[in-house]
Structure 1
Amino acid sequence: MRWRILALLFLARIGLGLQFQTMASVGDDLSVAFGFDWAGIGVLIGLFMAPGLVLALPAGYWGRFVSDRIMVAAGLGVLALGGGLCALAAGPWSLGLGRVLGGVGFLFTTLYFTKMVADWFDGREIATAMSILVMSWPLGIAMGQLGHAWLAAQWGWRVPFLAASSYTLLAGLAVLWLYRPPAGLPAAQGGAAPSLSPMEWRLILCAAGAWAAFNAAYVVYLSFGPQMLSHHGQSDLAAAGVISLASWLMIFSGAACGQLVDRFGRRSLVLTSCMVAAIAAVLLLGAPAGGPGGGLAASLLFGLVGMAPAGVIMALAGQALRPETRAFGMGVFFTIYYALMMVTPPVAGLLLDKTGAPEAPLWLAAGLFALVVPLGFGFELNKTARVRPAPGQA
């Protein structure tokens, strides 16, 4: 049953990546239509994450009163509504409002998708399950990188927003109809949420920082990597195809990496090795001597190795928290995630505008990937301290 539930959540969560990618895919068209520079496009990308900064903690608390199924279905509906508003936008303000509204739906779905999988796989192959769930995000993005560009070329920039909204609306209906919680899980109930222990705070802060830095770097790669390849002479569609290759590959490498860690452990070694590969890939993409061939090699390395530990990092959140603190703890986790995700795209866009160097945003991505390693080690050190017997205890 749990694997069927995971399949349902995976298919529904594809809509998150599909909707998020719309803005980056039609950025050039919006620049022509509304006169945006790349810092402005970065702001619109980042606005998708803005609601999470103020709503993640309340969203975690509201799980005490409303079932996970309702939270996710409603969130997907709001996400579809935000995309529809962007499709009808007549100017920057309505575009921004649509992105913020979509971000509200994205927040609720992201938080409770993660909690649902943690509930179903608590103590059993959680790294594998989280890896599979997390891969729905790059799959949606990869579908959007190719599909949105084609739709925009054929029918204009509004159609990708409508297509993504249609998918997320159908996904919400599917979750509402088909999802069931695991047996024995306490039903949503009012009252104050249990407090996080000091150790849980340390663990969730390390996990959240690692997840936020990892994803922020990935978004910079997706949003500004095509500009680097266009600078080397590739067409916009060809550049989008090369960059999307990494997202397709990580769907398989991520699941394999989660299975590897579940079977053999060595999480810190795997995480460090993969982050070194990710840094090498983004630097290769930005190397002037790399050219189009370097872009293909960079995407292969990035997808096969650099992005493989996505689910392993996400699984840290489930391992940091007790079941009774999981909803609130996920709110803390995603508050930190959204804070970094909101500011990173505008900063990357500003670097590109100020320097005129298409590789400048990729330097930022490399620095963020490097930050994942000490945060991962910090999690391991605190987790080891939690399970270490007290002095004199057997």
Structure 2
Amino acid sequence: MGVAVGVGFAIVHAFAARSEWAHAADPVTQEKKRDFAPLLTAYQATCRSANIKMPQHRAVAGRIQVPSRWTILAVLFVARAAFAFQFGSVGAVAPQLRQSLGASLADIGILVGIYFAPGVLLAFPAGTIGHRYGDKATVLAALLAMLTGELLMTSSASWSVQIAGRLIAGTGGILLSVLMTKMVADWFAGREIATAMAIFVNSWPVGIAISLMLLPWIGARFGLPAVNLAVAGWIMIGFGLMAFFYRAPEAVVSVGGEPGSVTSEMVYAVIAASSIWCLYNLGLVMIFSFGPTMLRRARLVHGCSWINDQHRPLAHGAFGSLRRLAR
């Protein structure tokens, strides 16, 4: 009797633990619960007769607490914003990098652009990689690659190390960007997909904006290594959220309709959309990559002009006083 109850306890406990992560409104999950109801009722009666305490699971108003698809979207938003935060980190501290590395503006441009160089090779097979090893596992590996590249850049001020770190981090960033778009589509296919995609896409400018506002201050106050550590910290937060909160949907909702052949109109539409997206990102990258250096230079020039125009008599008087004291 005790052995039977123990085995039943293990089976039901395992099923209940698995069910904690299921959607309350998912038809597949509801069907599983209905099929399991007689076994659960019999098990509860056996436990009561044997004075065995039932396992308690988190529940609110009779419903198991589960992460909603909006919670999953928030996790994906933070993790992808880490990707944008890392990409924008070089442009944000470009003036400090030029002084530290002895680099020119062209060198800074290389350091910015080489982040996306792995995309030439990984953009197409990224989906296949995710399908083979799992979306979550691949994204976690991508975040680890981003973290490794950032820590490598922290370890040395050598130009070759900086290039290697950006390449490694960019490899992870490309995998993350491609697969996370699919993850959002899996969770929201057929229900509020436009809203979800609009929120998700905005993680890119949000991450870049935060890097432009925060990282220059960190670099001026604590130095460039602190900038790399700040980027690494955000990546670690994204890794933790993905590892502990993300899960794949129980059943991917398929969109109805028969697959059709690729037409010339479809090809033209894809080319037009991708060209617009390419030009938009090109202008955006140019602004935040070289904007900080341009603004800093403009501020210095404006300051010198202001001194020359407004305070030339004061400057002449001060230098005259110094010459008289020297005599």
Asked if TM exceeds 0.5, the reply is: yes
Q: How many residues align?
A: 228
Separation of aligned partners in 1, 2:154 and 2:144: 15
Question: What's the CA shift string for 1:355-385, capped at 9, x where partnerless?
Answer: xxxxxxxxxxxxxxxxxxxxxxxxxxxxxxx
Letter aligned with residue 173 of structure 2: F
* Residues 201 and 8 of structure 1, relative CA distance in 2, 3 Å threshold: same
Letter aligned with residue 280 of structure 2: F
**Residues 108-187 of structure 1 aligned to structure 2 (within 5 Å):** 108-185=175-252
Confirm or deny: 8 A CA contact 1:74 1:172 kept in the other structure. no
Letter aligned with residue 226 of structure 2: V
* Residues 28 and 195 of structure 1, relative CA distance in 2, 3 Å threshold: farther
Out of 281, 284, 288, the position equivalent to 1:215 is 281
* Residues 23 and 140 of structure 1, relative CA distance in 2, 3 Å threshold: same
Root mean square deviation, CA, Å = 2.3
Question: What's the CA shift string for 1:318-339, capped at 9, x where partnerless?
Answer: xxxxxxxxxxxxxxxxxxxxxx
1:115 CA displacement: 1.0
Separation of aligned partners in 2, 1:52 and 1:202: 22
Out of 262, 275, 295, the position equivalent to 1:229 is 295
**TM-score, normalising length: structure 1:** 0.54
Question: What's the CA shift string for 1:240-284, capped at 9, x where partnerless?
Answer: xxxxxxxxxxxxxxxxxxxxxxxxxxxxxxxxxxxxxxxxxxxxx
Which has the greater radius of gyration?
2
Separation of aligned partners in 1, 2:261 and 2:180: 21
Confirm or deny: 8 A CA contact 1:73 1:175 kept in the other structure. yes
Out of 271, 284, 301, the position equivalent to 1:205 is 271
Separation of aligned partners in 2, 1:21 and 1:135: 15
Question: What's the CA shift string for 1:102-136, capped at 9, x where partnerless?
Answer: 10010011011111112222243323211211222
The reply on whether 1:20 has 2:87 as its aligned counterpart is yes
Separation of aligned partners in 2, 1:110 and 1:135: 13
Q: Which residue of 2 aligns with 1:73?
A: 140
* Residues 201 and 73 of structure 1, relative CA distance in 2, 3 Å threshold: farther
Identity %: 36
Confirm or deny: 8 A CA contact 2:72 2:246 kept in the other structure. yes
Separation of aligned partners in 2, 1:21 and 1:175: 22
Letter aligned with residue 279 of structure 2: A
Q: Which residue of 2 aligns with 1:6?
A: 73
**TM-score, normalising length: structure 2:** 0.64
Letter aligned with residue 184 of structure 1: A
Question: What's the CA shift string for 1:58-84, capped at 9, x where partnerless?
Answer: 212222212111111111111111111
1:212 CA displacement: 2.1
Confirm or deny: 8 A CA contact 1:73 1:173 kept in the other structure. no
Q: Which residue of 1 aligns with 2:100?
A: 33
Q: Which runs of 5+ in 2 are unaligned?
A: 1-67, 254-258, 302-327
Q: Which runs of 5+ in 1 are unaligned?
A: 187-193, 236-394
